[in-house]
Amino acid sequence: MSEALLLSQHLKFLRRHLITLPANYRSFDSNRAAILYFTLSTLDVLGKLEEEVDAELREKLIEWIYRLQLKSDSGKCFIRDINASD
């Protein structure tokens, strides 16, 4: 196998992680925010973030991240248990 980066295969792999985790990743459900972070970071490093994440998907991802936050009366933010709400 060539040592060259197989960009199209990497992008296909990353796209699968933007919307839903593959079935064999269900045990990593509590790490979805970290998986999203590394998926987006990898797309950015590859120079494909803007191409792969359109405005609609970007808004959905932002809303999902905000739903993970719990705000208190003191103005502090906390992260909710990722399994508590989706």
* pLDDT given for residue 39 in this prediction: 95
Q: What confidence category does residue 38 fall into, taking pLDDT thresholds of 50, 70 and 90?
A: very high
Maximum CA extent, the chain:
57
pLDDT value at residue 48: 95
Q: Is the dihedral of CA 33, 57, 55, 60 positive or negative?
A: negative
* Nearest of 84, 85, 83 to residue 30 by alpha carbon: 83
Quick check: 53 pLDDT over 80? yes
Where along the chain do its domains lie?
Answer: 7-79
Is the pTM higher than 0.75? The answer reads no
pLDDT(86) > 50: no
> Residue 75: what pLDDT?
67
